[in-house]
Structure 1
Amino acid sequence: MASIYSLKKFCYIVLIDSKEVGGFSEISTTDITTDPIEYREGTSSVNTVYKQSGHVKYGNVTLKWGFVTSAEFIIWLQSAGDRACERKTIKIQLRDDLNRVAAEWEIMNAWPVKYTSEDLDNSSNEIPIESMELAHEGIKRM
C-alpha cells in the first residue's frame, strides 16, 4: 500500500497563459465566500427564514518572489492603468520533492491591482522581495 504524506510547501511554479514565469517564495491564495440569501415565503407556517446560495466572491491572490531582472510583471501592471488591461489565466503548480506537479490551481481572468517592492538597502545581504497582487474572477483546483 502506498503511503500518503502531506506535501511540503516550498516549491511553487507560476505559469501565465501557459508560459512559465518562474518560481515564487510565497503565494497567498484566495479566500472564497458565498453570500447567503435569506428569504421567507409569505404563506409559510414556520417562523424562520430559508437560505440559499448567493454571489460567490473571490479574494485577491498575492505572489512574492526574489527580485529578478525580468520586467514582465511591471509591464503588465503598467498596462492595468489602461482600460484595456489584458486579463490572463494564471496556473499555480505545487511541485513535490522530485519536481513533479503534485497540485495545480487555475486562476481565471486575472489582472494586477498592486505591486510592492522592498527598500533597496546596500548595507544588507538579503534578497529584495517583490510582490504582485492579482484580482480575478475565479479559482479552481485542477
Structure 2
Amino acid sequence: MADDESNAGSIWPLPKFRFSVDFGTELTNIGFQEVSGMDKEVQVIEYRASNNPLFSTIKMPGIVKHGNVTMKRGIFVGDMTFWNWINQIKMNTIARRTVIIRLLDENNQVTMQWTLSNAWPTKITSTDLKSEGNEVAVDSIEIAYESLQITNPHHV
C-alpha cells in the first residue's frame, strides 16, 4: 500500500550528503567533505579452447581489481593525522587499517556501509593557496585497499 509507513523510506533514493568515515584508533569519525572511488571491477579473460570449432573466444571472469578511494576534508590547526600515517611508510611496510564509510539517514542510522580492508594511504594532496580566495583549506588523501565489502542493514 502507498500509505504504509513501513515502506515509506524504500520508495526514495538515498541522499548522499550525510555520511561518516571511521579509520579506527585515533582517526575515528573524521568529518569529510567528499568520498569517491569506491569501486570494484572484475577483469575479463578471453579464452578460446583449441578444439573449439568456432573462431571466437568466450569471456570468463578474472581477477577482481579495486580502485583507490579519494577523501577530501578541511584542515584543522595542529592536525597531522594523515601526514603521520603516510610518514609511517617504509620499504614495503605500512600500518594498514580497516576503513568504514557509512551512509546515514536523518536519524544517524546506517543505511549503507562500505568496508575497506587493509587500507593504506598512497597519496596526500595539500590544499592550494590563494591570496584572493575565501574557501576553506582542504586536504585530499588517496587510499589503496585490498577488498571492499558493501552491506545494507535494511536488506532482507
- Cα distance in 2 between the residues matched to 1:106 and 1:12: 13
Q: Which residue, out of 14, 17, 26, partners 2:24? A: 17
2:119 aligns to what SS in structure 1?
strand
* Aligned-pair Cα RMSD in Å: 1.8
**Kept after mapping to 2: 8 A contact 1:34/1:54:** yes
CA distance in 2, matches of 1:97, 1:12: 10
Equivalence for 1:30? 38
Q: Deviations over 1:71-102 (max 9, x none)?
A: 22111011124532111110001111222111
The aligned length equals 142
Greater percentage in strand: 1
2:48 corresponds to which residue?
40
Correspondence 1:112 to 2:146: no
Q: Secondary structure at the match of 1:23?
A: coil
Go from structure 1 to structure 2 and tell me whether the alpha carbon gap of 1:11 and 1:97 turns closer, same or farther (over 3 Å shift): same
Distance 1:47 1:96 in 2: 53
Matched, 1:101 2:110: yes
Q: SS at the partner of 1:21? A: coil
- CA positional deviation for 1:31: 2.7
TM-score of the pair, normalised by structure 2: 0.81
Aligned-partner Cα distance in 2 for 1:139–1:90? 10
Q: TM-score, normalised by structure 1?
A: 0.89
Identity of aligned residues (%): 35
Quickly say closer, same or farther: Cα 1:122–1:52, change in 2 above 3 A.
same
The alpha-carbon deviation at position 126 of structure 1 amounts to: 1.8
- Mapping for residues 81-100 of structure 1, pairs under 5 Å: 81-100=90-109
Q: Distance in 1 between matches of 2:116 and 2:106?
A: 24
1:6 aligns to 2:13 (yes or no):
yes
Q: Residue type of the partner of 2:23?
A: I
What are structure 2's unaligned runs of at least 5 residues?
152-156
- Code of the residue aligned with 2:123 in structure 1: it is K
Secondary structure (helix, strand or coil) at the match of 2:86 reads helix
Q: Secondary structure at the match of 2:87?
A: helix
Q: What is the CA-CA distance between 1:123 and the residue it aligns to?
A: 4.6
Deviation (angstroms), 1:113 = 0.6
Distance 1:5 1:82, change over 3 A: same
Query: What are the ranges of 5 or more consecutive residues in structure 1 without an aligned counterpart?
Result: none
